[in-house]
């Protein structure tokens, strides 16, 4: 795809070469994300960070990524604080807000809403999650993490075995990730979920049409065996009619140290898009795995800043100028990475 000025709405926009281009730029951002260098390549640029649904990691990660490139961030974090509550259309909102920003990141609870907004925007729009539909930047950072984790084991993405566990019906992260992974070759997908929360049929069919093996099961123990990556998701309570309905499935698919040791391969990487639900009745990813070397969930969050920096640099067409506007860090910075 042609990145400069483009909206990033769906993973369906990408070819494999586009994904690799994003990953190359993300890796080049490492000195800046790790506070070894400072760049002002986006000095004077403004990000409109518009989050009409709760978010911590995605919102702060996008803002951090933009700041690290030298830009400024303006945030809208509550739909009740916007004129949408007065009946303003997404079209009008997009038309207006794009006059105040150089690029916009948007999250909204309705599927297709960000695409609708982008049609009125005069600047690039990045989809930070539209209801249960898609979350392209999360899929990119997840796949970037998978690539790096497998590289450390002298493996590649092609031919890998990937298990996805939990609420696969409502989980936009797994929808986007599975479609992005399908750009690669000979993937075996094991989809572990209650029958009522299975991956949408159209996504499963697309994976099979692209030549990948797909196994759907409700048996977590057998599904966990022989995987390179296990990707867990929480029950998406906010997508159910009520808490009582969500509670029917909460806690049914848990991974802890004992289960991992018994069923997973010794080098199986554990991933989760976060937040993980740590309440006693849920706890899909147990705290007893917190110190496990194969737990990659916090490496995922670090990688998210790199990938989002890359998306900003590519869509604003400054990827080849970052180093020209750089200098060394002159404040104390602890080695966090």
Active site residues: 57-58, 86, 107, 135
Question: Which residue from 207, 130, 132, 202 is spatially nearest to 162, judged by alpha carbons?
Answer: 207
First to last CA, the chain: 32
Distance CA 80, CA 224 (A): 42
Whether residue 63 contacts residue 312, with contact meaning beta carbons closer than 8 Å, is answered with no
Distance CA 165, CA 146 (A): 16
Distance CA 73, CA 67 (A): 7
Whether residue 184 contacts residue 162, with contact meaning beta carbons closer than 8 Å, is answered with no
Distance CA 296, CA 270 (A): 6
Element (H, E) at 45: none
Burial class from Cβ neighbours inside 10 Å (0-12, 13-18, 19+) for residue 219 reads exposed
Q: What are phi and psi of 90, to 5 degrees?
A: -65, -30
Whether residue 284 contacts residue 255, with contact meaning beta carbons closer than 8 Å, is answered with yes
CA dihedral 168, 173, 178, 184 (to 10 degrees): -160
Query: Strands, DSSP E only, in the chain?
Result: 37-39, 46-51, 72-76, 103-108, 125-130, 161-165, 188-192, 213-217, 229-232, 269-271, 326-328
């Amino acid at each position: 795809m042609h990145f400069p000025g483009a909206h990033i709405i769906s993973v369906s926009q990408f070819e494999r070469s586009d994904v690799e281009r994003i990953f190359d730029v993300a890796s080049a951002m490492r000195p800046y994300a790790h506070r070894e260098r400072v760049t002002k390549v986006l000095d004077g640029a403004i990000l409109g960070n518009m989050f009409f649904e709760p978010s911590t990691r995605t919102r702060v990660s996008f803002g951090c990524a933009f700041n690290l490139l030298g830009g400024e961030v303006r945030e809208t974090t509550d739909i009740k604080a916007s004129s949408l509550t007065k009946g303003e259309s997404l079209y009008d909102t997009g038309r207006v807000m794009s006059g105040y920003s150089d690029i916009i990141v948007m999250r909204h609870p309705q599927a297709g809403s960000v695409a609708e907004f982008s049609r009125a925007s005069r600047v690039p729009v990045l989809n930070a999650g539209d209801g249960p539909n898609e979350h392209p930047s999360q899929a990119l950072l997840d796949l970037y993490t998978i690539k790096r984790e497998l590289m450390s084991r002298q493996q590649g993405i092609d031919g890998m075995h990937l298990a996805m566990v939990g609420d696969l019906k409502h989980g936009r992260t797994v929808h986007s990730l599975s479609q992005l992974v399908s750009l690669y070759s000979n993937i075996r997908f094991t989809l572990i979920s209650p029958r009522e929360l299975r991956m949408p049929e159209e996504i499963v069919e697309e994976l099979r049409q692209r030549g990948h093996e797909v196994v759907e099961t409700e048996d977590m123990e057998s599904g966990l065996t022989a995987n390179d990556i296990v990707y867990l998701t929480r029950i998406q309570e906010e997508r159910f009619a009520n808490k009582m309905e969500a509670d029917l499935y909460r806690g049914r698919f848990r991974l802890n140290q004992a289960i991992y040791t018994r069923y997973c391969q010794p080098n199986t990487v554990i991933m989760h898009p976060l937040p993980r639900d740590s309440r006693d009745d849920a706890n899909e990813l147990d705290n007893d795995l917190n110190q496990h070397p194969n737990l990659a969930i916090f490496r995922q969050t670090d990688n998210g800043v790199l990938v989002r920096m890359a998306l900003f640099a590519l869509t604003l067409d400054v990827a080849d100028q970052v180093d020209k506007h750089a200098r060394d860090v002159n404040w104390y910075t602890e080695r966090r990475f």
